[in-house]
Structure 1
Amino acid sequence: MLDHLAYRTPEPKVIAGAKADWELVIGLEVHAQVASNAKLFSGASTTFGSEPNANVAFVDAAMPGMLPVINEFCVAQAVRTGLGLKAQINLTSAFDRKNYFYPDLPQGYQISQLYHPIVGEGEIIVDMGPGIARRVRIERIHLEQDAGKSIHDMDPNMSFVDLNRTGVALMEIVSRPDIRGPEEAAAYVGKLRQILRYLGTCDGNMQNGNLRCDVNVSICRPGAYEKFIETGDFSYLGIRCEIKNMNSMRFIQQAIDYEARRQIAIVEDGGAVVQETRLYDPDRGETRSMRSKEEAHDYRYFPCPDLLPLEIEQAWVDDIAATMPELPDAKKARFVADFGLTEYDAGVLTAEAENAAFFEAVAAGRDGKQAANWVINELFGRLNKQGLAIADSPVSAAQLGGVLDLIGAGEISGKIAKDLFEILWTEGGDPAQIVEARGMKQVTDTGAIETAVDAIIAANPAQVEKARANPKLAGWFTGQVLKATGGKANPAVVNEMVARKLGLGE
């Protein structure tokens, strides 16, 4: 399945029941809010955190006579997402009405795309460890409008409705049931989020609900999934239950694990799993029934009479394709090839597009491995410790690159470089000027170094004998010399001189 990437497919998650082993089959429907300043069918703002009902146009509130007008930019964002997932772009698509009644849906229907979505089949490659990946097929991506929000905690006797989200454009990204375990499900959502953020089509903010998913879980006996893949016959898979509105990687894993064990217990006890929609309660760590699972006919879908079929031109799609950024997998492979990085380091550096751009600016014309070590260990370590994003880094790429230039020129040692990094972090400034002004250049004068080496050797005859018996102990003298010179002595020069003075290697 993954031969073209030289990856092997991970084994499915196996859960041992009381009577038999079971495997999981998981499919996800991810709802990604389109990164757009205006809604799908109106010019109302999509700004998060506005006062309730501040971002509502007449069409959002279902005022009589108000007709939807498609937002071309949202369509372009959906096409861009499809291209990023190597998916088929449908030049003709159409909108349908999904009919249901709820207080936060003023129209009494949601405009969606059931029959003719804008994007067809694609795929995502989900890394699951060195040389291991799962290929998850994308069934479709369709555009739809979000509903509003019901608020129940302002007054115990009343419920309120905020229509700010009503009409906000969503991309529903539907996977095939190819995911085989809780960790894979979380990794899939993480990889999809990464791609969307690289593309700029969704900010991926799960806390604000801008990226959330419905998780479909079923169980089957070992070997049944392979029969399903061969035949396409869903009867080989167990009855699925859908867990709604998951917006946390950790909760996704917990909910899947609980739901799988719940279904196993039912089946092994002689019962039958009921197809239904469930909610996850993170406080109790369990799923609970919400409602019976609806089928398409329950929503009485029919083509939206207010919107003509959406027709786009291949030339327009090609123009969007021409502006596509380098995506995570390609960037990771390039970092490994061009900079000689390990796959792990390349993965860390390409996790976010901003991080990758920072690294490339640091590494430009310099040693890639050294640049990666400084960015990952020193910069990222400090950012994580202080809870800062790369955009808020007190040390710029140019400043960090300047530190590496000073190391490469032999003007400062690694230890001095760390002291310099601390100054840059807290005070800022130009690295070269700081080193010059504060006398931080490492000592390369062999005469001065030799004097220090001779003094340390003369003062420690017992340690001399130990080092001559075990050359590995010669590092003690190097450390003492560096300490005596305030860390300014060139370590390479010190090592060579200590070895010569002690008669090592002769």
Structure 2
Amino acid sequence: MKDYEIVVGLEVHAELNTKSKIYCNCRNAFGLEVNTQVCPVCMGMPGTLPTLNEKVVEYAIKMGHAMHCQINGVCKQDRKNYFYPDLPKAYQISQAEVPLCGKGYLDVMVDGQMKRIGVTRIHIEEDAGKLLHDESFSGSLVDLNRCGVPLIEIVSEPDIRSSAEAKAYLETIKSILQYLNISDCKMQEGSIRCDVNVSVREKGATEFGTRCEMKNVNSFSAAVRGIEYEAKRQIEILEAGGTIAQETRRWDDVKGMSIVMRSKEDAQDYRYFPEPDLLTIVVPEEKIQALKESIPELPNVKLQRYVFDFGLSQTDATLIAEDISRSKMFDACVALGTCKPKSISNWILADIAKYTNETGKSIEETALTPEHLTSLIEQVEKGVISNASAKKVFAVIVKEDKDPLAIIEEKGMKQNSDTGFLEQLAKDVLAQNEKSVTDYKNGKTNALGYLVGQCMKASKGKANPGIVKEIVTKMLNA
């Protein structure tokens, strides 16, 4: 069998969370009574005129800046003509030759390595309605609430070479959309969807193979399964001497397979022409620049910084970078420079995450401050208090704005790290537990844990367990 390479391109459709729809004043909201958020404009009644929502343009430009795109300050909108029951006008207003955002790229991390994926374009368009099917009625019903909901479509270059790279790209886009607060990214509500283009070619070949497009991919894990299935299907056809037909397929995630929908249409099948009811979009350069300056440090940039500058694992760095409140806390603590970034990460992903999950509060809604968290971690790193004591202090400072040092003093939690005192303590414990000493010397290593435990008990939990273990081990081996 020949060695094949997978080539993937993705088209991501993200619904923007503007208050109203793209060309009318209807409310942009999910899950409301069917056909209640509609008007003559989004229902495509003859004689109605659309008016462009300015916020949609701003949100698209922000995403363009986040993906290093060339912003086209002068562009137009086009009619994309096709007939489908959920498209009342029989055309969709989109953008053809001149999108709002042109060529760009996105750097994503895959297995600790950076991969640059080209972006062809980001354009604005309106969503179509939704067909409803149910066993309680025959045929299909149509809900037009979604008609006119604003979308951006992000089209990648065919630079993706594995399902893992596709997943990393999709997750990065999702986290950027959430950071910019321009889409809620609720996949279960269809807020972010993707079409997947897959082809295969022999390794080393320069020409692309014939691509097939998969629709109905409604989760990132489904995209991974779809890519792997489609690549395998195409390789099997080629190995059997067949040829790949260019077609659009529907991904069935339950069956784990794709089914042919139609032969793939080309751009001319949509008969694009400039939208006559809308003016040219003109965005002043200073507005484009102001939108660029409003963008915070993005999660993919944070991820690189956390892995390469602070030595966090990709998993830990991702868990912090993709959560705005976690990354704010992490960055503020690291900036104080009093304890190790890895220790801060561990506290954020363990104790803080546990507390926020159990209470449903965000970090901002707690009394925890970066100063108090780092002060607490510092005491653990210096051996002033044990991990167990630190957890007790944390339980207080997460609810009350109280200095950890004052709590440690009040509750008498300081560990005893005086080696002279601890050596005497260990001598006494070993003298009283001759059987355990003999057991250790006879190879029963768990006796060490018992002896350290006895030292801790004798010190009423005040001894520094790390130093005690060192002293006891040294005495046993002497």
User: Which bracket does the TM-score occupy, shorter chain normalised?
Assistant: 0.7 to 0.9
- Are 1:87 and 2:69 an aligned pair? yes
Note the alpha carbon deviations across 1:105-160, whole angstroms, 9 max, x for none: 11111000011100000011221112x23221100111000011111116332422
Match of 1:444 in 2: 416
* In structure 1, C-alpha distance between the alignment counterparts of 2:367 and 2:464, rounded to whole Å: 25
- Are 1:48 and 2:30 an aligned pair? yes
TM-score normalised to structure 2 length:
0.87
Match of 2:15 in 1: 33
Q: Kindly provide the amino acid, as one letter, of the partner of residue 199 in structure 2.
A: S
Distance 1:440 1:394, change over 3 A: farther
Matches within 5 A, 1:130-145: 130=112, 132-145=113-126
* In structure 1, C-alpha distance between the alignment counterparts of 2:406 and 2:138, rounded to whole Å: 65
1:488 to 458, 462, 466: 462
Match of 1:24 in 2: 6
1:125 to 107, 110, 114: 107
Instruction: Report the CA distance between 1:371 and its aligned residue.
Output: 1.0
Match of 2:431 in 1: 458
Question: Secondary structure at the residue paired with 1:191?
Answer: helix
2:178 to 189, 192, 197: 197
Distance 1:390 1:497, change over 3 A: same
The 8 Å contact of residues 85 and 142 in structure 2, kept in 1 or not, is answered as yes
Q: Kindly provide the amino acid, as one letter, of the partner of residue 165 in structure 1.
A: R
Distance 1:207 1:370, change over 3 A: same
The 8 Å contact of residues 361 and 397 in structure 1, kept in 2 or not, is answered as no
* In structure 2, C-alpha distance between the alignment counterparts of 1:372 and 1:444, rounded to whole Å: 27
* In structure 1, C-alpha distance between the alignment counterparts of 2:312 and 2:268, rounded to whole Å: 53
Instruction: Report the CA distance between 1:22 and its aligned residue.
Output: 2.1
Note the alpha carbon deviations across 1:431-489, whole angstroms, 9 max, x for none: 7499569836134395986775454122123545777999x986654333224445333
1:330 to 289, 294, 301: 301
Instruction: Report the CA distance between 1:492 and its aligned residue.
Output: 5.2
Structure 1: tracts of 5 or more residues without a match: 1-18, 228-235
Distance 1:264 1:480, change over 3 A: same
Q: Kindly provide the amino acid, as one letter, of the partner of residue 372 in structure 1.
A: S
- Are 1:479 and 2:453 an aligned pair? yes
Match of 1:247 in 2: 218
Matches within 5 A, 1:325-364: 325-335=296-306, 339=310, 341=312, 345-364=316-335
Q: Kindly provide the amino acid, as one letter, of the partner of residue 456 in structure 1.
A: V
The 8 Å contact of residues 219 and 260 in structure 1, kept in 2 or not, is answered as yes
Q: Kindly provide the amino acid, as one letter, of the partner of residue 243 in structure 1.
A: M
* In structure 2, C-alpha distance between the alignment counterparts of 1:331 and 1:374, rounded to whole Å: 18
Match of 2:208 in 1: 237
The 8 Å contact of residues 416 and 440 in structure 1, kept in 2 or not, is answered as no
2:85 to 88, 103, 127: 103
Match of 2:46 in 1: 64
* In structure 1, C-alpha distance between the alignment counterparts of 2:304 and 2:255, rounded to whole Å: 42
Q: Kindly provide the amino acid, as one letter, of the partner of residue 413 in structure 2.
A: K
The 8 Å contact of residues 448 and 473 in structure 2, kept in 1 or not, is answered as yes
Matches within 5 A, 1:138-153: 138-153=119-134
Match of 1:412 in 2: 385
* In structure 2, C-alpha distance between the alignment counterparts of 1:499 and 1:136, rounded to whole Å: 54
Match of 2:153 in 1: 172
Deviates more, 1:171-180 or 1:191-200: 191-200
Question: Secondary structure at the residue paired with 1:155?
Answer: coil
The 8 Å contact of residues 415 and 487 in structure 1, kept in 2 or not, is answered as no
Distance 1:295 1:338, change over 3 A: closer
Deviates more, 1:85-94 or 1:456-465: 456-465
Note the alpha carbon deviations across 1:66-124, whole angstroms, 9 max, x for none: 21111111101111101100110011111001112222211111000011100000011
Distance 1:449 1:442, change over 3 A: farther
Q: Kindly provide the amino acid, as one letter, of the partner of residue 442 in structure 1.
A: K
Distance 1:504 1:272, change over 3 A: closer
Instruction: Report the CA distance between 1:405 and its aligned residue.
Output: 5.3
Structure 2: tracts of 5 or more residues without a match: none
Match of 1:8 in 2: none
Q: Kindly provide the amino acid, as one letter, of the partner of residue 273 in structure 1.
A: I
* In structure 2, C-alpha distance between the alignment counterparts of 1:276 and 1:445, rounded to whole Å: 72
- Are 1:376 and 2:349 an aligned pair? yes
Q: Kindly provide the amino acid, as one letter, of the partner of residue 187 in structure 1.
A: A
The 8 Å contact of residues 72 and 101 in structure 2, kept in 1 or not, is answered as yes
Deviates more, 1:484-493 or 1:350-359: 484-493
Match of 2:144 in 1: 163
TM-score normalised to structure 1 length:
0.83
* In structure 2, C-alpha distance between the alignment counterparts of 1:260 and 1:421, rounded to whole Å: 51
Instruction: Report the CA distance between 1:410 and its aligned residue.
Output: 5.6
* In structure 2, C-alpha distance between the alignment counterparts of 1:261 and 1:55, rounded to whole Å: 43
* In structure 2, C-alpha distance between the alignment counterparts of 1:279 and 1:269, rounded to whole Å: 23
Deviates more, 1:89-98 or 1:148-157: 148-157
Distance 1:343 1:295, change over 3 A: closer
The 8 Å contact of residues 7 and 200 in structure 2, kept in 1 or not, is answered as yes
Question: Secondary structure at the residue paired with 2:64?
Answer: helix
Note the alpha carbon deviations across 1:400-429, whole angstroms, 9 max, x for none: 45643553676531122234546778x878
1:291 to 247, 252, 262: 262
Question: Secondary structure at the residue paired with 2:134?
Answer: strand
Deviates more, 1:136-145 or 1:414-423: 414-423
Note the alpha carbon deviations across 1:179-237, whole angstroms, 9 max, x for none: 1122221221112212222222222222211111000111111111xx2xxxxxxxx22
Seq. identity, %: 39
